[in-house]
Amino acid sequence: MDAPLTDRVRSWIDDDPDERDRAELQALLAASQAGSAAATADLQDRFSGPLEFGTAGLRGRVGAGEHRMNRAVVQRAAAGLGAWLTERFERPRVVVGLDARNGSREFADDSAAVLTAAGCEVLLLPRPLPTPVLAFAVRHLQADAGVMVTASHNPAADNGYKVYLGGRATGPEGRGVQIVPPVDAEIAALIAAVGPLRDLPRAAAGWTVLGDDVVEDYLAAVTAAVGAGTPGRDPRIVVTAMHGVGGPVLLEALRRGGFGDVHSVAEQADPDPAFPTVPFPNPEEPGALDRAVALAQRVGADVVLAVDPDADRCCVAVPAPGGFRQLTGDELGRLLGQELAAPGAVLACSVVSSQALQRVAARTGARFAAALTGFKWIARVPELTFGYEEAIGYCVAPEVVRDKDGISASLLVATVVRRELGAGRTLLDVLDDLDRADGVHLTAPVTVRVDDLAVIPATMARLRGTPPATLGGSAVTSVEDLADGLDGLPPTDGLRFRTADGTRVVVRPSGTEPKLKCYCEVVADVPAGADLDTVRQGARERLDAVLADVRAATA
């Protein structure tokens, strides 16, 4: 290992506040100096540059070193946030929350200690709780900022650090919403300016640990906003918390909504940072719902409700011929949008989500707005009534939680199921109605994972220079560069292709992972008297052809 890297590792060890992390790096350094190529490669990765602070905050593998999530990195982040706040406000109020992942407790406590020493009033959530409770608390307690220690549905090795603004720090549409530019860059600059951690002030006390009344207030607000008292036939519900922190809050929300026949997947009910039954704790991933579906089949459930580990996402499966069918994020977004649509309502989704919500808005007299990808943008839509993104994120009560919230979304889904069961119908019948009214909208992703990050900009440049002439056999009629700031939106790296038959494909780099993401959609109107299954089959064949062409174009 070269001398500059050795010096950087030793300097980090000298300044690291955590004894275990110091020992971890010392062991790796000794192994590297003894000739271990694996240890050298590990250190090179850990010191490949600081873990970047951006609009997603911080997210990375837990471990020692500048490119990992650890106490040193978190203390620097808290110091940068504290400096940003105290430069602007007198005694800013900050709410700090955490999930149950490895390191979350220490990271939350360190944040409280650093922010308190910086001059902030710090309110710490009483225990590991869902991200929506933190987002609610920022608004409810009129805090100027919020910190949530979580990596959401990332693999077990990861943790993260989300930053929200509120109170005096932002306008009405941004209160309780994650940061966006230029605030992320401003905080990042202050993080980079933090000196040696040995000199960083850390309070031993002085922050307030909130009581359970914050959870009670959240539950009361959610159940009042969703209006779960709709009559019908009470459904039998299966829920899974995916080894995260959402289980008790979700069960209590359902109980308050009058849902008494609820069955929880026992082996996934309690928080476990190892996520032992799922390699990737995202309800969208293949196999993630297997245990929930098996339980649903045993008990004869009417619906499966799954939340991800920090409970900000919601996934739904319903009985269908041959077993249970998991709804796509776009299907559920369309269904919930229909539920909340009304003249003058504002329905919003990301530019990569289905175009179906726009048709719902047009038919119902609602207003439609597109937003950049991510709830930090969707939640900022003025006068928002409902917002969603295809990655199973839904905001159904923006005055309560101006962020995606799997708890309130699950409660609304259960309410719709109850009403439809009372009429002898299911959610699939609702989707049939929507297809007949607004056309069949089929969506599917193509994801290109890369080992070399340089592949992503190279592929985007190639697509800009030589776009495909056809997609799915239909001529490409327009190529729009999202970097030009289309539709009144801020510029972002992405391309949107449209074809003569109404197909749309959006290609963009992932903001959090080393991959290129392609969002494909075909639309087929359903003529009066036409067989819906036949129209869907034709749309499916078109989509399969589009997916094949997109894979070839991005290979």
pLDDT in tens, 375-417: 999 999 999 999 999 999 999 999 999 999 999 999 999 999 9
The whole model's pTM is what?
0.96
Q: Is the pLDDT of residue 533 over 70?
A: yes
For 93-113, what is the mean pLDDT? Answer: 98
Q: Which of 399, 267, 215, 245 is nearest to 313 (CA)?
A: 245
Tell me how far apart the alpha carbons of residues 70 and 301 are, in angstroms, rounded to a whole number: 42
For 268-287, what is the mean pLDDT? Answer: 95
Tell me how far apart the alpha carbons of residues 264 and 267 are, in angstroms, rounded to a whole number: 9
Tell me how far apart the alpha carbons of residues 357 and 368 are, in angstroms, rounded to a whole number: 8
- What pLDDT, on the 0 to 100 scale, is given for residue 55? 78
**What is the percent of the chain where pLDDT is above 70?**
99
As a whole number, the mean pLDDT across the chain is 96
- What pLDDT, on the 0 to 100 scale, is given for residue 442? 98
Tell me how far apart the alpha carbons of residues 250 and 47 are, in angstroms, rounded to a whole number: 40
Q: What ranges make up the beta strands (E) of 173-256?
A: 177-178, 208-209, 237-240
Least reliable range by pLDDT among 81-85, 203-207, 277-281, 349-353: 277-281
Q: Is 472 left (phi over 0), alpha (psi -120 to 50) or beta?
A: left
Render 72-128 in DSSP notation, one character per residue: HHHHHHHHHHHHHHHHHSSS-EEEEEE-SSTTHHHHHHHHHHHHHHTT-EEEE-SSS
- What pLDDT, on the 0 to 100 scale, is given for residue 537? 98
**What is the percent of the chain where pLDDT is above 90?**
94
Tell me how far apart the alpha carbons of residues 22 and 158 are, in angstroms, rounded to a whole number: 19
Sheet with 393-395, strands from edge to edge, namely 367-371, 346-350, 386-389, 393-395
- Could you tell me the pLDDT band of residue 229, with boundaries at 50, 70 and 90? low
Q: How many CB atoms sit inside 10 A of residue 285's CB?
A: 13
Active site residue 152: yes
- What pLDDT, on the 0 to 100 scale, is given for residue 2? 86
Look up residue 432 and give its amino acid.
Answer: D
Of 32, 111, 152, 408, catalytic: 152
Residue whose tokens read 């939106």: 489
- What pLDDT, on the 0 to 100 scale, is given for residue 129? 98
pLDDT in tens, 60-94: 999 999 999 999 999 999 999 999 999 999 999 99
Q: Is the pLDDT of residue 102 over 90?
A: yes
For 153-179, what is the mean pLDDT? Answer: 96
- What pLDDT, on the 0 to 100 scale, is given for residue 228? 63
Q: Is the pLDDT of residue 544 over 70?
A: yes
Residues found in the chain = 555
Tell me how far apart the alpha carbons of residues 229 and 256 are, in angstroms, rounded to a whole number: 10
510 vs 23, which has greater pLDDT? 23
Tokens linked to 146: 């919020």
Q: Is the pLDDT of residue 510 over 90?
A: no
Q: Alpha carbon of 439 to those of 113, 350, 370, 541: distances in Å?
A: 55, 20, 19, 16
User: Taking a C-beta distance cutoff of 8 angstroms, is the pair 336, 394 a contact?
Assistant: yes
Which residues, listed in sequence order, are joined to residue 509 by a DSSP beta bridge? 516
Q: How many CB atoms sit inside 10 A of residue 453's CB?
A: 11
Tell me how far apart the alpha carbons of residues 235 and 321 are, in angstroms, rounded to a whole number: 18
For 339-365, what is the mean pLDDT? Answer: 98
Q: Is the pLDDT of residue 475 over 70?
A: yes
Tell me how far apart the alpha carbons of residues 514 and 524 are, in angstroms, rounded to a whole number: 33
Using the 8-state DSSP alphabet, how is residue 342 labeled?
A: -
- Could you tell me the pLDDT band of residue 227, with boundaries at 50, 70 and 90? confident
Q: How many CB atoms sit inside 10 A of residue 48's CB?
A: 12
State the number of CA atoms in the 13 A half-sphere of 268 facing the CB: 28
Which residues, listed in sequence order, are joined to residue 295 by a DSSP beta bridge? none
Render 235-288 in DSSP notation, one character per residue: PPEEEE-TTSS-HHHHHHHHHHTT---EEE-GGGTS--TT-TT-SS--TTSTTT
Which residues, listed in sequence order, are joined to residue 344 by a DSSP beta bridge? none
The secondary structure of 402-446, three-state, reads CCCCHHHHHHHHHHHHHHHHHCCCCHHHHHHHHHHHHCEEEEEEE
* Torsion sign (Cα): 137, 138, 143, 146: positive
pLDDT in tens, 419-446: 999 999 999 999 999 999 999 999 999 9
Q: How many CB atoms sit inside 10 A of residue 362's CB?
A: 13
User: Taking a C-beta distance cutoff of 8 angstroms, is the pair 179, 55 a contact?
Assistant: yes
191-225 b/e with 16+ CB inside 10 Å = b?
Answer: beebeebeebebeeeebeebeeebbebbbebbbeb
Q: Which of 348, 346, 222, 242 is nearest to 287 (CA)?
A: 242
Tell me how far apart the alpha carbons of residues 131 and 440 are, in angstroms, rounded to a whole number: 34
For 121, list phi and psi in degrees, rounded to 5.
Answer: -90, 115
For 205-218, what is the mean pLDDT? Answer: 98
For 329-356, what is the mean pLDDT? Answer: 98
For 313-333, what is the mean pLDDT? Answer: 97
User: Taking a C-beta distance cutoff of 8 angstroms, is the pair 151, 59 a contact?
Assistant: yes
For 236-259, what is the mean pLDDT? Answer: 97
